Amino acid sequence: MENSWILLSLVSAFSLATSDALTKKALRPDTEYLVAWLRLVFSLPPLLIILLLVPVPELDKTFFLAFSLALPLEILALTLYIKALRASPLTLTLPFLSLTPVFLMAFSRVILGERVSVWGAAGIILIAAGGYSLNLGAARQGLLAPLRAIASERGSVYMIIVALIYSMTSSLGKLAIEHSSPLFFGASYFMVVTLCFTPLVCINVGSWSRLTVRELRSAVLPGLFYSAMIVSHMLAISIANVAYMIAIKRSSLLVGSIYGVVFFREGDFRQRLGGAALMFAGFVLIVAGE
């Protein structure tokens, strides 16, 4: 049971990648806010059932502080993520999402007092490097293209900020879990996130006549997989070093690359084998060093 967080982290990665792939299939031009909101909305029914079934833990000031600090950061990260997708090509933005576990090595120590071993740190860096290079398979500009694009592509800057924010919300989320329970926090937190994100969607969507039956139907499966990601994420992070857990969860980038090749014809997976090998080596180092 002590290594069950590894399986839970992999389930979380698979669920997130699957939800992302299904969401991408549902996207039309300028519907990012709407589709992101629908995914959250359709993740709520399973979370509501969980919230009704799990006992309400004793909540203290630390829980409410962590919850209230993480919430606006989560909304900001979601908004910037959508802006990054709109502003710049995926090959110049997604690589920076792999920086989250690197940032976490600092934030988890400050917020939670968690330390990573030398082997664990090496594994995290390898996974981050692998995640960075995975998304460059379709790029023609080379390995340093995303770094060179920082000066000219707003989307790249947005995604770096998103990675930084996620390192903070992951640490604050675990702090809230330590002062409540993983299922209670996960269910209640994302319900409030959805509620708070709704006004931003109303502002950016404009006319709700753009919402079609097809989009409603196509958002059901992404939402269900997203709820599975939330549950497995919260259970894993409650028993694992947060930096290790998020590093393994970033294998969703690898699963997403496979989906991209198989279902969206996005390049040749052989171009991504180097990144996949780095991520696997990092995974082995983290597991071995635990």
Mean pLDDT of 25-54: 87
- In whole angstroms, give the CA distance from residue 92 to residue 156: 6
* Res 28 pLDDT > 70: no
- In whole angstroms, give the CA distance from residue 156 to residue 158: 5
What is the reported pLDDT for 156? 82
Mean pLDDT of 56-80: 96
What is the reported pLDDT for 245? 96
* Res 212 pLDDT > 90: no
What is the reported pLDDT for 27? 67
* Res 135 pLDDT > 70: no
What is the reported pLDDT for 90? 66
What is the reported pLDDT for 142? 60
- In whole angstroms, give the CA distance from residue 194 to residue 185: 14
- In whole angstroms, give the CA distance from residue 253 to residue 223: 19
pTM: 0.91
* Res 219 pLDDT > 90: no
Mean pLDDT of 73-98: 82
Mean pLDDT of 263-284: 78
What is the reported pLDDT for 273? 77
Instruction: pLDDT band for 266, please (50, 70, 90 cuts).
Output: low
Mean pLDDT of 178-204: 94
Pick from 82, 116, 144, 123: nearest CA to 250: 123
The rounded percent of the chain whose pLDDT value lies above 90 is 56
The model's pLDDT over 140-150, given as tens digits with 9 standing for 90+, comes to: 556 666 666 66
CA angle 256, 49, 243 (to 5 degrees): 40
Q: Which two tokens stand for residue 210?
A: 């753009």
What is the reported pLDDT for 32? 79
Tell me how far apart the terminal alpha carbons of the chain are, to the nearest angstrom: 14
Neighbours of 94 (CB within 10 A): 24
Angle of the 154-178 helix axis to the 61-87 helix axis, nearest 10: 160
Mean pLDDT of 185-212: 86
What is the reported pLDDT for 144? 64
What is the reported pLDDT for 263? 75
Which helix H or strand E contains 130, and what residues bound it?
helix 118-134
